[in-house]
């Protein structure tokens, strides 16, 4: 079965050898994008904060962050194109050249690597004939080597347009990319019931829901195992030393009601003593672990006041000044 993907050469906004980029959007496209941009900007108290989702918006239109997309964002937000480009080149989710229909990211960070991620990467680069951030000739797959897919409990993990494919092998990963290139529906291990295109996902990342957020399972058995085991065994994390539970609420030790404790903490400290750290009574000596800079607090532990501790601190201060 032959499937026609959006090849970079066929994209009017793409980089075609020997030709120049399109420098602007037609009137209808610009009006549509401007309406979407206005909706994005309305979410933020400062309009320039809308830059990240707006870059996803123009990427959903052009298949990458194109020069005309950068110019559009700059004009909408009152920024220079240099300022927009500085952001677009910082984050790897923004592509500076035409992307394939599907971004396939292989995690090769420590855990995934030892569990087989390196073998998956080698298999796919050889099978597809492309390397990192390169796209297959049919425009279907852009392959990426990912530092972490944030799914270590299912290592090794491959992502397709940021949908999870867990517990992969070289063979299963090759099967996924082959089905994508053939146009056969592919379902991720968790989350949405199917994989959308790169442009469609970019629009979702711009903040426009596609109605699939509640499809499928979000956290699988491996993710929930610790929580379920703790509930089964009645385990809980220990409280901080100065905290106890009172009728289901947390309050400072000594049994003072939470509201009263908060009122005490809200009282100003002695003149010149500065703000009172959380969990410390006004006027009391600072406690180890209180919310203050350890560089500013007085020595309060044996290790701090010992000759060895003083010498270590002096060496640190000398190093800072050198």
Peptide linkage before 156 cis (omega within 30 of 0): yes
Reported as a pLDDT band with limits 50, 70 and 90, residue 68 is very high
Q: Are 121 and 83 in contact (CB under 8 A)?
A: no
Q: Give pLDDT tens digits for 188-210.
A: 999 899 999 999 999 999 999 99
Mean pLDDT in residue range 24-45: 96
Q: Where are the alpha helices (DSSP H) in the chain?
A: 27-41, 51-62, 67-77, 81-88, 110-112, 118-128, 170-182, 198-205, 221-233, 258-266, 302-305, 307-321
How would DSSP label each residue in 251-273? EETT---HHHHHHHHHSPPSTTS
Specify the pLDDT at position 9.
46
- Mean per-residue pLDDT, 15-24: 57
**Phi and psi at residue 277, to the nearest 5°:** -60, 155
Domain boundaries defined on the chain: 8-88, 102-199, 239-265
- Tell me how many helices (H) and strands (E) the chain has: 12, 7
Q: Which fold has domain 102-199?
A: Glutaredoxin (3.40.30)
Nearest residue to 69 (alpha-carbon basis) of 107, 103, 30, 99: 30
Whole-model pTM: value is 0.67
Contact 269, 282 (CB under 8 A): yes
Residue 311's pLDDT is 78
Q: Give me Rg for the CA atoms of the chain.
A: 27
Is 135 in contact with 98 (CB distance < 8 Å)?
Answer: yes
pLDDT of residue 284 exceeding 60, the answer is no
Fold of 8-88: Arc Repressor Mutant, subunit A (1.10.10)
């Amino acid at each position: 079965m032959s499937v026609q993907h959006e090849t970079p050469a066929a994209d009017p906004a793409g980089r075609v050898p020997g030709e120049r980029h399109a420098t602007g959007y037609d009137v209808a496209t610009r009006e549509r994008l401007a309406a979407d941009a206005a909706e994005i900007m309305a979410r933020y108290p400062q309009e320039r904060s809308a830059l990240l989702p707006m870059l996803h918006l123009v990427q959903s239109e052009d298949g990458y962050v194109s020069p005309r997309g950068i110019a559009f964002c700059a004009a909408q937000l009152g920024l220079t194109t240099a300022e927009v480009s500085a952001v677009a080149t910082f984050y790897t989710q923004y592509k500076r050249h035409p992307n394939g229909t599907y971004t396939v990211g292989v995690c090769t960070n420590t855990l995934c690597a030892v569990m087989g991620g390196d073998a998956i990467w080698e298999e796919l680069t050889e099978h597809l004939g492309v390397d990192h951030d390169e796209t297959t000739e049919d425009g279907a797959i852009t392959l990426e080597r990912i530092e972490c897919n944030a799914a270590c409990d299912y290592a090794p993990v491959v992502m397709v347009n940021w949908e999870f494919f867990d517990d992969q092998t070289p063979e299963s990963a090759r099967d996924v990319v082959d089905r994508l290139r053939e146009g056969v529906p592919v379902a991720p291990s968790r989350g949405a019931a199917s994989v959308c295109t790169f442009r469609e996902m970019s629009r979702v990342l711009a903040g426009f829901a596609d109605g699939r957020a509640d499809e499928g399972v979000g956290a699988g058995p491996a993710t929930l195992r610790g929580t379920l085991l703790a509930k089964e065994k009645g385990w809980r994390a220990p409280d901080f030393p100065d905290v106890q539970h009172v009728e289901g609420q947390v309050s400072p030790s000594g049994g003072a009601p939470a509201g009263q404790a908060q009122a005490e903490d809200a009282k100003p400290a002695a003149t010149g003593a500065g703000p009172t750290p959380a969990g410390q009574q006004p006027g009391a000596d600072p406690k180890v672990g209180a919310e203050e800079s350890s560089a500013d607090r007085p020595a309060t532990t044996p290790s701090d006041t010992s000759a060895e501790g003083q010498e270590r601190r002096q060496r640190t201060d000398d190093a800072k000044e050198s």
